[in-house]
Amino acid sequence: MAKITLSIIKADIGSIGGHIKPSQRLLETVENYVKEKGKGLIIDYYVGFTGDDISILTTHKKGAGNTKIHKLCFDAFLAGTKVAKEQGLYGAGQDLLVTAFSGNVKGMGPQVAELEIEERTAEPFLMFMADKTDPGAFNLPLYLAFTDPMHNAGLILAPRVKEGFKFVIMDVSYTKADKIITLAAPEEIYNIAALLRDPERFIVESIWSRATGEQVVSASTTRLHNIAGKYVGKDDPVMLVRTQKDFPATGEILSPYTLTPVVAGFMRGSHNSPLMPVKKNTSISFFDGPAIVSCLAFCVKEGKLTESADTFDHPYWDYVREQAAQETQEIRRQGFFGAAMLPYSELEYGGIVETLKALDKRFIIKKK
Ligand code: F6R
Ligand code: MG
Ligand code: MG
């Protein structure tokens, strides 16, 4: 059977009332474009949003990094941008860093995650979308779900899961090309942890089953400010994860989100925020945050998608959300101070540079 590819391509091309959520007309424009122009090219699609970001999930037989698929999504975002401008939406076309498409959306602004798979008899997978944070936000949940029996009971109970997983980790500080390392769990979990503890620099790009050789995870790795050289919005990553059988169960992948790890992002992309698991199509509010993550579950058969199941739409996650809100309050109590705001190198706005330059001239060196 021909392989099926799942492609998620995501961009912020404008939103209502600041960086809150896309307009209905904008969403419809993107969706209709994919539906019409994707005929004969894609098998199925889903269009949704998390915060101010629109995600296009397509299924097709063209493989990862395919020009036609990437162009379809890029052009859908361009069509959306036109509407965003007409409506006067805020940040219209913000993530489209180039106007002329060439080859592949990687490096052009949108986030991309793709999985080329041999469909199993049943093929359940998860689509994660985060807003007001950056790609390293998935580091800890992935580490725990794929290496720690405290979250993944399969590592003890299921022999094929127990064989472990290979992590492909990217050093995104290197911008000339993709710089990656492959590390095997469980043997190298301390090395994996040593890298993943720094989510601004080292990001999980993919995870592979050692039992079957199959790819289980594909996560987006683009850091916009590394491309544009200046602040153009936070990266708001996306991720695809196959689940069950020889891979972690859906609940094992979801379990670490209980921890609501503190991630970079939030207001002006310059603060630390607990990562709050939210229902699908959730908007942004308080202090342009907190950072949020949604997760939709699907099954796919010969490229045809089921409707989505909204994994964080459950009473259990209401409790976690409440905890995340409390943690958010705690960190917000100290405003701009210390750990509440990101270190200088990660601040997404340049204004402070001028302030510090001006103040530097006013420092005096005291005589002993
Ligand atoms: C963070 C984000 C927002 C904006 C903030 C200011 O990723 O999108 O927090 O940084 O609303 O936005 P501007 O500078 O566009 O007025
Ligand atoms: Mg966003
Ligand atoms: Mg935005």
pLDDT tens-digit map of 285-342 = 999 999 999 999 999 999 999 999 999 999 999 999 999 999 999 999 999 999 999 9
For residue 227, name the pLDDT band (cuts at 50, 70, 90). Answer: low
For position 348, what pLDDT does the model report?
75
Q: How many residues does the chain have?
A: 368
Predicted structure pTM score? 0.96
Question: Which residue stretches of 179-299 are H helix?
Answer: 189-196, 224-228, 250-254
Selection from 102, 329, 111, 67 nearest residue 218 by Cα: 111
Residue closest by Cα to atom 5 of ligand 1? 268
Task: Tell me the best of 12, 19, 234, 342 to mutate to test the pocket of ligand 1, counting ligand atoms within 8 Å of each CB and taking the most.
Answer: 19
Selection from 29, 60, 10 nearest residue 234 by Cα: 10
Selection from 290, 175, 169, 317 nearest residue 234 by Cα: 290
Task: Tell me the best of 285, 288, 341 to mutate to test the pocket of ligand 1, counting ligand atoms within 8 Å of each CB and taking the most.
Answer: 288
Average pLDDT, the chain: 95
DSSP state letter for 173:
T
> Coil, strand or helix: which one is 247?
coil
119 Cα to the center of ligand 1, angstroms:
40
- Work out the number of other CB atoms within 10 angstroms of the CB of residue 296: 24
7-19: average pLDDT: 97
- For 63: left if phi > 0, alpha if psi spans -120 to 50, otherwise beta; the answer is left
295 Cα to the center of ligand 1, angstroms:
24
Percent of the chain with pLDDT over 90: 86
Least confident window among 150-154, 210-214, 234-238, 244-248: 234-238
Question: Measuring from each residue's beta carbon to the nearest atom of ligand 1, which residues come in under 6 Å?
Answer: 18-19, 132, 233-234, 267-269, 288
Q: Which atom of ligand 1 is nearest to the CA of 348?
A: 10
For residue 226, name the pLDDT band (cuts at 50, 70, 90). Answer: low
Beta bridge partners of 312: none
55 Cα to the center of ligand 2, angstroms:
11
**Residues tagged active-site:** 12, 231, 234
233 Cα to the center of ligand 1, angstroms:
7
98 pLDDT above the threshold of 90: no
Q: Which atom of ligand 1 is nearest to the CA of 132?
A: 7
Residue closest by Cα to atom 6 of ligand 1? 268
- Ligand in nearest proximity to the CA of 238: 2
